[in-house]
């Protein structure tokens, strides 16, 4: 690598830092309200069309939702100002790790390996509505 390239890379890195700062300061993210049941159903219908939803559970912070569709769990959680949605076997719910008032779900997916759900204080896990 030449000195010129090194200087160009350093200046570019400084520009990246400045632009990220500007975006954090002035940038307007997409409006995304906390999930409620209707919003979660719309999200699942849009992302996983054709899945029949038996029951829906919304995390208390509105940042994530779960649904049961037969033997499958439908999973939605916020990433930035968007949502990530996956379908997984229902067994991922009972295999979740509980820690600091959150449920951590391991997904067999390198693009989205883990989903985190805030839990209501003292509530059972998995949510009864989804496994009963």
Partner 1 sequence: MKLDPVTLATPFFILAIVLEIVLARLGKAKAAYEWRDVRTSLLMGLGSTVAGVLTGGIAVAATLYVYRFHLFDIPMNAWWAWVLIFFLEDFAYYVFHRLSHERRIWWASHVNHHTSQHYNLTTALRQTWTGGLALTWLPWLPLALIGFPPAMIAIEKGVSLVYQFWIHTEAIDRLPKPIEAVFNTPSHHRVHHARNPRYLDKNYAGILIIWDKLFGTFEPERAEEPVRYGVVKNLGDFNILRVSFHEWIAIGRDLLRDPRHALGYLFGPPGWSPDGSRQTSAEIKAAWRRRTAEAS
Instruction: Give ∠ CA 61-65-66 in degrees, rounded to 5.
Output: 145
CB of 57 to partner 1, least distance (A): 19
Q: Report the residue from 7, 20, 98, 123 that binds partner 1 according to the rule CB under 8 A.
A: 20
Report, in Å, the least distance between residue 70 CB and partner 1. 16
| 50 φψ region: left (φ > 0), alpha (ψ -120 to 50), beta (else) | left
Residue 63 near residue 34 (C-beta atoms within 8 A): yes
Is 13 an interacting residue with respect to partner 1 (CB under 8 A)? yes
User: Any idea what DSSP says for residue 126?
Assistant: S
Residues 6+ apart with CB under 8 A from 20: none
Task: Find the binding residues for partner 1 in span 64-83 (CB under 8 A).
Answer: 77, 79-83
Binding mask 102-131 for partner 1 (x = CB under 8 A): -----x-xxxxxxx----------------
What residues have CB less than 8 Å from 45, skipping those under 6 apart?
51, 53
Residues 80-99 that bind partner 1 (CB under 8 A): 80-86
Q: Which residues bind partner 1 (CB under 8 A)?
A: 1, 5, 8-9, 12-13, 15-16, 19-20, 22-24, 26-30, 46, 49-50, 77, 79-86, 107, 109-115
């Amino acid at each position: 690598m030449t000195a010129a390239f090194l200087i160009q890379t350093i200046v570019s890195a400084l520009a990246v830092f400045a632009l990220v700062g500007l975006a954090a300061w002035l940038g307007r993210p997409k409006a995304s309200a906390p999930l409620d049941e209707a919003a979660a159903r719309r999200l699942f219908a849009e992302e996983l069309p054709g899945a029949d939803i038996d029951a829906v559970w919304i995390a208390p912070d509105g940042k994530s939702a779960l649904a049961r569709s037969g033997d499958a769990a439908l999973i939605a959680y916020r990433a930035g100002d968007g949502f990530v949605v996956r379908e997984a076997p229902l067994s991922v719910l009972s295999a979740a790790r509980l820690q600091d008032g959150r449920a951590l779900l391991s997904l067999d997916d390198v693009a989205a390996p883990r989903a985190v759900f805030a839990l209501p204080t003292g509530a059972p896990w998995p949510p009864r509505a989804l496994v009963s």
